[in-house]
Amino acid sequence: MIDLEKLTIIKARKALDSKEFSAVDLASVYLAEIKKKNGELNAYLEVFSDVLEQAKAADARIAKGESLPLLGIPLAIKDNILIKGKKASSASKMLENYVASYDATAIEKLKKQGAVFLGRTNMDEFALGGSTENSAYGVTKNPHDMRRVPGGTSGGSAACVASSMALAALGSDTGGSIRLPSAFCGVVGIKPTYGRVSRSGLMAAVSSFDVIGPIAKTVEDARVIYEVIKGQDLLDSTTISETTYPKTSFKKDLTIGVPWDLINGEGVNQNVKDNFSEVIKKLEKLGFKIKDIKLPNCLALYYIINFAEVSTNLARFDGVRYGLHKNGKNLFEDYMLSKGAGFGKETRRRVLLGAYVLSAGYYDAYYGKAQKAREALRKEFKDIYSEIDLILTPTCPIPAWKIGEKSDALSMYLADIFTVTANIVGIPAMSLPSGFSEIEGKKLPLGIQFMASHGGEDLLFEIGKKFDEIKDSP
């Protein structure tokens, strides 16, 4: 009997190598779990028909004596990451029947390892949103409370891991899209340094923010996946080498910066504040120095750039070259009908706002100023990291909200206050489970977020392991 709740990639690797169970056994147990739970959770948009064939191929490699970190490990893949020969819709009607003609670089690396892809997971359409309510194929539910959202945009991936419907998953992070659902679902999620993981084969939302990263049960599992998918890629000119940034190492006297003015501001839930204060006490007991720092509220800056790049990236879906096509009386009507039928409400909102901030007369006032502010913020962060080693915040100012509760877009945007900064400046960030908030009889997970300087993933993994050891201590 395989205990999926306690299983990790590390444990599964040992069991597969010692022939305690086979990759086919493991995949079969996950398929049974998916069959039992996915109807209600709606975390998978599709379970692949060749899962057992993939597992048999992994078993054949294991039988020959191969032992790779992810050989035979069942993973879930976000619906905006291309797998050759599989559908990839980005949870949009616009790409409902699109079949990928090539593998994303991250997928290619996982295939070489012999990972088993279980299926493609639900998400906010084109990775725009924060709750997975914006999918054209229905909302994913939070495994901890079916009335609530799992976070977004990688909500399906996080829900799969949290509900034991996958051992780990790939997501993408534009402004918190890995970290927010990881916090809401009580799992670990990492957004790597911009350029550390190739974006080739990731459907573009905001090209200067987007990054692929792992969602897993433990810090060690997240690290295993990260080590496999990272690296320079000729197909993505923004990827960086191992030597681009200086190595950051773990030390006992780490200084952790905390932006108390942001955390104690309006809109941060009291349970989140209380949980965060408990985390601080535990870190101080370990000997870490906590230092008060100032961080600006970067939401306005983030969303101006987000809208602008979304508008530009999604212009390719015009009903002529890509995706859904509707016949009108002329070319302009073709555009109108195709985009109107293919794009959901949130996607249309961002395309329109992006077109506005990029339009003549407004470009300098909005987008131009935002880019200057972004550059100033990068310099500010460089100064901050000359005095501290890490920045710590809650992952989200509130616990998971009820489905349909945040019908106005602005209130949902505000949930990104702690996560967007890492994407703006390109630094790595990790969300870790930090406790629970009991609401209406349900224990809803809460998360904390560590942010390191550029290239500081190793430091995040080390502090993550340390925190894992002490988080349940009194």
Condensed to tens digits (0 to 9), the pLDDT of residues 255-273 reads 999 999 999 998 999 999 9
CATH at 179: 3.90.1300.10
pLDDT(252) > 90: no
Q: What is the pLDDT of residue 19?
A: 97
Q: What is the pLDDT of residue 1?
A: 85
Q: What is the pLDDT of residue 251?
A: 80
Q: What is the pLDDT of residue 220?
A: 97
Question: In which domain, by residue range, is 116 found?
Answer: 1-316+361-474
Amino acid identity at 161: V
Residue 409 in any domain: the answer is: yes
Name the residue with tokens 């349900």: 442
pLDDT(469) > 90: no
Residue 341 in any domain: the answer is: no
Q: Please, are residues 416 and 153 in contact by the beta-carbon 8 Å criterion?
A: no
* 418 vs 182: CA distance, rounded Å: 14
pLDDT(52) > 80: yes
pLDDT(322) > 80: no
Q: What is the pLDDT of residue 181?
A: 98
Residue 354 in any domain: the answer is: no
The dihedral built from the CA positions of residue 39, 44, 49 and 52, taken in this order, carries a sign that is negative
pLDDT(468) > 90: no
Overall average pLDDT of the 115-142 stretch = 98
Percent of the chain with pLDDT over 70: 99
Extended strands (E) in 193-303: 211-216, 255-258, 289-292
**Residues belonging to the chain:** 474
Residue 235 in any domain: the answer is: yes
Tell me the sheet residues that pair with 322.
none
Overall average pLDDT of the 248-253 stretch = 80
Q: What is the pLDDT of residue 400?
A: 98
State the DSSP code for 168.
E
Overall average pLDDT of the 196-225 stretch = 98
Overall average pLDDT of the 423-440 stretch = 97
Q: What is the pLDDT of residue 318?
A: 85
Q: What is the pLDDT of residue 134?
A: 97
Q: What is the pLDDT of residue 446?
A: 98
Q: 3-class DSSP state for residue 92?
A: coil
pTM of the model: 0.97
Q: What is the pLDDT of residue 204?
A: 97
Overall average pLDDT of the 44-69 stretch = 98
* 221 vs 461: CA distance, rounded Å: 10
Q: What is the pLDDT of residue 247?
A: 84
pLDDT(250) > 90: no
Number of structural domains in the chain: 1
Distance between terminal CA atoms of the chain?
A: 33
pLDDT class of 407 with cuts at 50, 70, 90: confident
Residue 322 in any domain: the answer is: no
pLDDT(21) > 90: yes
Overall average pLDDT of the 49-63 stretch = 98
User: Maximum distance among all alpha carbons in the chain?
Assistant: 71
Q: What is the pLDDT of residue 32?
A: 98
pLDDT(133) > 90: yes
Residue 334 in any domain: the answer is: no
Name the residue with tokens 């007991």: 285
Tokens of 427: 């630094």
pLDDT(356) > 90: yes
pLDDT(457) > 90: yes
Residue 117 in any domain: the answer is: yes
Residue 210 in any domain: the answer is: yes
Q: What is the pLDDT of residue 378?
A: 96
Amino acid identity at 17: D
Q: What is the pLDDT of residue 470?
A: 78
Q: 3-class DSSP state for residue 200?
A: coil
pLDDT(307) > 80: yes
Q: Please, are residues 165 and 122 in contact by the beta-carbon 8 Å criterion?
A: no
Name the residue with tokens 């407004």: 362
pLDDT class of 405 with cuts at 50, 70, 90: very high
